[in-house]
Structure formats: C-alpha cells, structure tokens
Structure 1
Amino acid sequence: MARKNQKRFEIIHHHCAGIDVGSREHWVAVNPEQYDPAVRQFSTFTDDLIALADWLQSLNISVVAMEATGVYWIPLFEVLDARGFEVYLVNSRATRQTSGRKSDVLDCQWIWQLMTHGLLSGAFRPSDEICSMRSLVRQRANKVCDQAKSINRMQKALSQMNIQLAQVISDITGVTGLKILRAIVQGERSPEKLSALRDGRIKADQETIARSLHGNWRAEHLHALGQELACHDFLEKQIAECDQAIAQALARLPVLQPETGLPCKPLRSAHRSADQQLALHQALIKVMGVDLTAIPTIGIDIALVLASELGPDLSRFPTSQHLSSWLGLAPPTRISGGKPLPGKAPKIINRAAQALKQAASNARQDKSFIGASHRARLTRMDTSCAIKATAHQLARLIYAMLTKGQPYVEKGIEEFEEKSRGRQLRALERKARKLGMQLVKAA
C-alpha cells in the first residue's frame, strides 16, 4: 500500500536562527537548505559576539531564538538586540528534546527548527531603561539581605556574651541599640552608663535595660561584634548609594504623569528618610503614570519592585490572565480527561509575584475591601492558597491601572459586606428552591 504523504508544519519564520548558549561557547544554527555552513561555533569573547552578529546580518537573519542559560545569555542578547534583531529569549523547558542523542550542535538545530515553525514564545523583558533600574533594585535587595545576616550575627555575639538587649528593645539596630553597641565596641562595660543611652521612646525603663547588659564580655565575642557592626555600617552606606543610583535611574525614564500629589497613606520604608520616601513616591507616579501605593496593602518598597520588574508598558500581555500566568499566580491548568492531574505545577520564581504575595500577607489586618476579601478567603482555604489568591487579585488590579491609566478607587469594607450578604441570600434561595420552599422576608 502506498504510504501517505506526511503533513509538514507551516513555516512561520523563514529567516531565523537558533542559538545554544554556553559559558565558553555559543553554537548557532540556520537553515541548512539555504546556507552553508548551517552550524557555526563562536566563543563568548566580545569580538566573537560581534562576529556572530555580523554573520547573521550577512545572511539576512531577522529572528533569533536563544535559551536563557544562567546569566551567559545577557551579553549576547544585548549585542543582538542593539543590532536590531528580533530576539526570543526562550525557557529551557520549552526547548527540551525527546530522549536520544544530545549535543550542542543538535540543541541549536532543534531550537532553530522549533523557531522556524513558530513553536517558541519569548520571555517577557522590559525596556533597557527599566532593566537598568531593575538591576539596581535587585542589587539593593541583595545588600539588605546581607545586612540582615550581619544583624543576626551581631545578635548571636550578644547572646554568647549573655547580653539580653534584644529582649528589652524591639530593634538592636535602632537609635538606642546602635548607640549601646557602638559604646560596647569602644570599650564601655558599665551597664548603668550604657543604659543611660536609652532613647525616650523606648518602653523599657533604664533599670531593665541595665539588667540586660550584664554579660561575660569575652574577647572573641567582642571581636565578632565589632566586625559585624562595621559590616552593618558599610552595608548601610552601600544601600544609600543604591538608593541614589535608583533615583538617578528613575529620573532618566520617560514621564507619563507630570502632575503628582501627596501619598494617600503614611509611607514606611527601611533605610529611607521621610523626604526620600516622598521623592521616591513622586518619581514612581511620574514613571508609571498611576499611584500604585494607593492600593491599601502596597507600600513604597513593593511599588518600587513592581515598577522595576514590570515597567509601565504591559502591552506584551493581552489580558490580565496572561500577566497572572507569567507571574505564576493563575490557577493551574493541569487537566486531562476533565480531571486535574496529580502533582504540583512547575515552580515559578518571580520577584514581582513575591512582592505581591508580601502585599497580600499584609492584607490580613487591613480595613479595606482587599483586606476583607483576604480574611474571607482565610476562612475557607489554607493560608498559602489565600495569599496566592489575594496576590492574583492585586495583579488584576495593577494590570487594569497600568493599561487603562485609571487610579485605584477604594470600595470600602462596607461594599464587601454587602456583596457577601447578597451571595449568602442567593445561596439560601437556591437551597430553598431545591427543597420546594420559598424564603419569606421577616417583617
């Protein structure tokens, strides 16, 4: 019997290339029917990256697909993007081959083949200006984490000397705590003199603080305390430098909203003064076009993370569902035969989603529509699921604000209670109809 002709996929990109990215070398594949050689190897030196771009331009290649391998793709992406190529940054899960032989040559050819038929989608990447600010915000976050580690090591040194200062004041790096720690490092050992450095806003009295400052003062622990205090001060200086660089990066971005007003709620941000918080708030409104801090559970730090990770332009996402899926906050769609599949969905690490989850966790005590919604979710689902659902709600709100340019309008807890009462009444009416009964309003 004659063999039927196999149907071939439609070719979407006629002039494209696939790149297998590595730490030492990049393998590039093009159409073997049009070009010879069809596969070439380039090192990761800058002159070879430029030669790679020159070669692709000589072949009239317009679309390039490459794997997002570690951080090795960044220099190549920047070179190709600057040359005007349409670069698709692809998740490695989408380019995974079937079982069998595997090599760098086969990988780049497989990426080219998938890209030819339009089977790959590029990752979301903001504009270069937003990416520059994003790097600074991430660097600041790393410095804050490093400082938190140094604070923990200071606390460990104090505990080893049986200095119970953390038991009587809430923050050992506050005004009172830092004064006492600096005096200890400089050689002061008298609990009475150290407790005299107490700030008037501390709830604990001077006698209680003095009792907590009786310790053994061992030399090795004092040495560790001094080094960690110096590390804390150094990181504090670096955080301030990051804040200055972030302010300069925000000033270089296009202005979407020239008129800014005062914040609608008190702004709280670690390592920033009130004037710095106000300046950052106004700069974010100018860049984003809307005030994200108007949402009750979103503070200035979370708004900065969202601005650096998303940017003001969300045209890459057709709907809020696409944005929620990219954030990893949408409900899973692992369904086969009409039934959910067992196991967990792939874990997605997204800094914007983490910031939204932090904002969602802050909604537990918030007296707003979002806070009431979150508390209602906590009554019927696990805490982690409720936080994810509230973060999903925040993502939809932010999408609507950025795409439509509309400010956030607080509905209030009263409207939520009214909607909740309406849902309960409709549920009772459905149950009554099933039982052949009718609800009658009390006189």
Structure 2
Amino acid sequence: MTKVRRKNGIGKDREFKVVHLNAAGVDVSPKEMQVCVPSDRDEKCNRTFGVYTKDLHEISAWLKKCGIDTVVMESTGVYWLPLFRVLKGDGFDVILVNPREAKNYAGKKTDEADAHWLMTLHTYGLLKACFQPDNVTREIRNLVRHRDNLIQSCSREVLHLQKEMEQMNLKLDNAFSDILGKSGQAIIKAILDGERDPERLAGLADWRCKKSKEEIKASLQATWDEDHLFIMKQSDDLYHYYKDLIKDTEAKIEELVNRYSASVDADKAAAMERSKKQKQLHNDVSFDIEQYAYNAWGVNVMRMPGMSKNSALRLLAELGPDFVEKFPDARHFESWANLVPNNKISGGKLLSSKVPNKNNPVGQVFRQCANALWRSNEPLGDYFRHIKARSGHLQAMVATGKKMAGIFYTMVKNKKEYDVSIYAKSKEKTLERRIKKLQAKILRLQNEQAQSGLKVTDGTD
C-alpha cells in the first residue's frame, strides 16, 4: 500500500491552484438557465435567464461583458445543446461535464448553489470534460441513432405480423427460416391480396427451399379470421413504410459522410485493400461504408475480425474522424468506452472491480463485435473462448471488446492496417508457455510417484 500512496501522492500537502480564472457555471433546466460568474465581475453575479433563443444570446452577451472565456455546464438531457451551440459559436470554451462528477455539497439544493458549485469546481480545474464530436459528426450521429430506432420499429412490426399469423394457425415461420425472405414475402403479399388456396400459395415458394411442397402446403392451412388479417395488413404496411424511411435516412447519412471524402486523395482512397466479408444482412447499410470509413480514418477497420458494416457506421457516427486527438492513449479510450473495471480500494483491500453500469454506445458496439467472435478461428476468437471458459460469457464480451477497442484506436492513431500475424505470434508464445507449464507439472508428478514408491499401471496387466 505504501507504493500506491507514493505513486498517487497520497499523504502529501496539496494546494488548490486556480486553473481557469475567467470561468462561469451554468445550471441547465427545461424552463430557465441559472448562470454564475465570479463575484468581482458583476453586482448580481448569479442570474436567472430564460430558455428562448433571445435569452441564450443575452447570456452570451452578459458573459462577454463579465470577461468570461470558459463556461461549464452539466449534460442535462438535451436541454444543454442550444446554449452549448450559441456559446461555442460566440467563441467561448464550453465544457460539458457528467452530472455524477459534479455533485453538489451537502445542504440545501438550489439552482443558484448548483451554478456556483460548477463555477468553483471549474475554476480549480476539478472537472473533466465530456467527449464532444464536431458538428458534422453530430449530425451523422443523430441520423444513425434515428436509423437504429427505425430498425427497431421494423422489428416490432415483424413481431406483430408473426403474432397475427400464429393466432390464425398460419405456420409460415415453420416452413421458412426467414419470413422476410423472397418466398415469405411473396406468400404474405398474396395472402393480403386475397389468395387463400394453400396449393397456389405453396407454388410461390422458391425452388431452393429445403421444406417439401407438401409441408409448405400444410403450414398454409389457416382460419383466415378477418380481424387478424386486417391487423396483419396494417403491420405489413408499416413494415414497408419503415423500410422506405430507412432508405431515405441512409441517403441523407451518405450525403453527410461524403464530406469526409473531400480531404482524401483519390489515388489513396482507390488503393484501399477491401475486407473479405461478403455476407449481407437484412439491416446492413446500403452504401459503401467501408470506403467512407477508410476516407475518414485512413485505415480499413472492416478488416478487423467481428467488425460489421453497421458497427463501422455507428463508430464513425459516434466518434468522428479526429477522435484520437481527444484521447491521449488507448487506455483512456478504453476507459471512456466503459470497457475496463472500476477498482475500488479501501484499507489496502480491493472491494470491487466491476465494470461501471454506464450506457456508452461505443462500448456497446465493441461488445457486439466481440460477441460475434465466439465461433471465429481468429486469435481474437481464441481469446474470447479462453476468457469465457474462465470467467463466463459476459466477462468475455467485455474483455474481448476492450482488446478490440485498443486495436481500433492503435490502427487509427498509427494509420496501420490490422495485422493478424502479430496476434498469431502471441498465440504461439502462449502455447509454448502452456507446454512448459504442463511439462513442469508432469515432472513434479513423476517425482511424487518416485518418492511414494507407487507403480502406476496403464491398465494392460
């Protein structure tokens, strides 16, 4: 414990030094903004403003009059965003902080006290800024999150469709592995158009279907209740409506993402070595995200095992092209993505080492990518199965996701493509260590056998 104290400087006298002399604090709420500046800047240093656009510009003008150059506010819902944009546009250094890290002192809680407390903490440099992407990335992020919501709405309508078919004893999901495929969609369309003959409906199935014609025909004998057919038709209409909205959203996303290509040399972009992933999923993005991601980061992240098109799109939307400049190293990036444990130590003992319960979209992407590796023959797949056998599936997702986040950061930071040979050498060294360990165990057992004088037979006597 002595070494830890020395390393962290615990026990030494510490002095709070003023880091930001011209700092202000803002307590954000839906109906008013409470702004606090140092007491020597204005007679009324803690003022209340409205939330309309003219009020936001009044805040900016008052802060300029008070000689403020840096402002701190909590990330309260989405209410902070309009003021954040106005202050940023007027040249202020705006710091957005996590409310958990800026909890008020004990006592009566008021908006004035919260704004003053934020200003005080920021004055002494005790607050850590949240990650904020550039404006283009923010627009892409909003659209990508909207696209995810539309996909969830699509999935919900498919479940409604299946529920209505099940209540009519229409066993279409027993005959086809995917009712959204070519055969399933053709049969559903014919049913909604009024066809009820199982023989004709079964004839619409593709010849490549594994089920026999008789089994498909048997699954299409239903009660055809009018109420369920009506709901089924509306669910199918909503499903296709959402699919059209997804196409429109992807077209807008591609328009924004294409801005990253303007700063990339055409010859360099054409020289990109594509990944060998060819499998197309229902909800895959329709445009060439592999090329756009390469234009933004300078490396092809799709060559990483487990990385899908949707994962690359979400990472590009959440991080932007210059995220490596905002994290000093891979460890800080992994910690921000909520992929490392939060070690709590008291009395020289480790009390807890759980991963914090925080919702980080980037961390979720890397966990999903890691989960796709549990059957992979890649070294990362071996690592996932090794951790799973020792600690369980969830721990393996976090540990492998952390490793993937470190690889991703290093690739983008150093502009170096994914090289599987590095991890193959590491796997070889791991196997050598295991062999030496097993040989030492065999030698120890042989010595114990020799000392005891027992003779071990092989069962052939």
Instruction: Provide the TM-score with structure 2 as the length reference.
Output: 0.88
Aligned equivalents of 1:267 and 1:60: distance in 2?
A: 58
| Deviation string, structure 1 residues 93-127 (Cα, Å, up to 9, x no partner) | 11111321001111111111111111001100111
1:419 is displaced (CA, Å) by 2.3
- The answer for the alignment partner of 2:53 in structure 1 is 46
Assess, with a 3 A threshold, how the Cα gap between structure 1 residues 434 and 339 changes in structure 2: closer, same or farther.
farther
- The answer for the alignment partner of 1:138 in structure 2 is 145
1:305 is displaced (CA, Å) by 0.9
Match of 1:263 among 270, 274, 290: 274
Assess, with a 3 A threshold, how the Cα gap between structure 1 residues 154 and 80 changes in structure 2: closer, same or farther.
same
- 2:133 equivalent to 1:159: no
- The answer for the alignment partner of 1:391 in structure 2 is 401
8 Å Cα contact 1:306-1:355 kept in structure 2? yes
Instruction: Provide the TM-score with structure 1 as the length reference.
Output: 0.91
8 Å Cα contact 2:343-2:353 kept in structure 1? no
Assess, with a 3 A threshold, how the Cα gap between structure 1 residues 256 and 401 changes in structure 2: closer, same or farther.
farther
- The answer for the alignment partner of 1:307 in structure 2 is 316
Assess, with a 3 A threshold, how the Cα gap between structure 1 residues 328 and 215 changes in structure 2: closer, same or farther.
same
- 2:23 equivalent to 1:16: yes
SS of 1:363's equivalent?
A: coil
Assess, with a 3 A threshold, how the Cα gap between structure 1 residues 25 and 428 changes in structure 2: closer, same or farther.
same
1:432 is displaced (CA, Å) by 8.8
Assess, with a 3 A threshold, how the Cα gap between structure 1 residues 43 and 321 changes in structure 2: closer, same or farther.
same
1:411 is displaced (CA, Å) by 2.4
SS of 1:88's equivalent?
A: strand
1:75-94 matches, within 5 Å, as 75-94=82-101
- The answer for the alignment partner of 1:297 in structure 2 is 306
- 2:388 equivalent to 1:381: no
SS of 2:207's equivalent?
A: coil
1:332 is displaced (CA, Å) by 2.1
Aligned residues: 430
Match of 2:230 among 215, 223, 227: 223
Aligned equivalents of 1:46 and 1:416: distance in 2?
A: 58
Aligned equivalents of 2:158 and 2:380: distance in 1?
A: 34
SS of 1:28's equivalent?
A: strand
SS of 2:372's equivalent?
A: helix
- 2:139 equivalent to 1:128: no
Equivalent residue letter for 2:300 = D
1:153 is displaced (CA, Å) by 0.6
1:412 is displaced (CA, Å) by 8.1
8 Å Cα contact 2:19-2:125 kept in structure 1? yes
Assess, with a 3 A threshold, how the Cα gap between structure 1 residues 114 and 167 changes in structure 2: closer, same or farther.
same
SS of 2:162's equivalent?
A: helix
SS of 1:199's equivalent?
A: coil
| Deviation string, structure 1 residues 51-79 (Cα, Å, up to 9, x no partner) | 11111122221111000001111111111
Aligned equivalents of 1:41 and 1:431: distance in 2?
A: 73
SS of 1:315's equivalent?
A: helix
1:215 is displaced (CA, Å) by 0.9
- The answer for the alignment partner of 1:3 in structure 2 is none
Aligned equivalents of 2:190 and 2:116: distance in 1?
A: 66
Aligned equivalents of 2:446 and 2:107: distance in 1?
A: 64
Q: Which moved more, 1:409-418 or 1:47-56?
A: 409-418
Aligned equivalents of 2:419 and 2:173: distance in 1?
A: 41
- 2:285 equivalent to 1:285: no
- The answer for the alignment partner of 1:362 in structure 2 is 372
Q: What is the percentage of aligned positions where both structures have the same residue?
A: 32
Equivalent residue letter for 2:73 = M
- The answer for the alignment partner of 1:323 in structure 2 is 333
- The answer for the alignment partner of 1:55 in structure 2 is 62
- 2:204 equivalent to 1:209: no
Q: Which moved more, 1:95-104 or 1:406-415?
A: 406-415
Assess, with a 3 A threshold, how the Cα gap between structure 1 residues 315 and 433 changes in structure 2: closer, same or farther.
farther
Q: Which moved more, 1:417-426 or 1:20-29?
A: 417-426
Assess, with a 3 A threshold, how the Cα gap between structure 1 residues 41 and 242 changes in structure 2: closer, same or farther.
same
> After TM superposition, where is structure 1 displaced by more than 3 Å over at least 4 residues in a row?
254-258, 267-274, 342-346, 412-417, 425-437
Aligned equivalents of 1:326 and 1:436: distance in 2?
A: 50
| Deviation string, structure 1 residues 300-336 (Cα, Å, up to 9, x no partner) | 1111111111123211111111001100001222222
- The answer for the alignment partner of 2:120 in structure 1 is 113
Equivalent residue letter for 1:60 = G
- The answer for the alignment partner of 1:440 in structure 2 is none
Aligned equivalents of 1:432 and 1:15: distance in 2?
A: 70
1:200 is displaced (CA, Å) by 2.5
- Structure 1, gaps ≥5 residues long: 1-5, 438-443
- The answer for the alignment partner of 2:343 in structure 1 is 333
Aligned equivalents of 1:151 and 1:76: distance in 2?
A: 40
Aligned equivalents of 1:301 and 1:212: distance in 2?
A: 34
1:202 is displaced (CA, Å) by 2.0
SS of 1:102's equivalent?
A: coil
SS of 1:264's equivalent?
A: coil
| Deviation string, structure 1 residues 239-259 (Cα, Å, up to 9, x no partner) | 101111111011112544642
C-alpha RMSD of the superposition: 2.3
Equivalent residue letter for 1:371 = G
Assess, with a 3 A threshold, how the Cα gap between structure 1 residues 10 and 294 changes in structure 2: closer, same or farther.
same
1:343 is displaced (CA, Å) by 8.3
Equivalent residue letter for 1:296 = P
- Structure 2, gaps ≥5 residues long: 1-12, 448-461
Equivalent residue letter for 2:306 = T
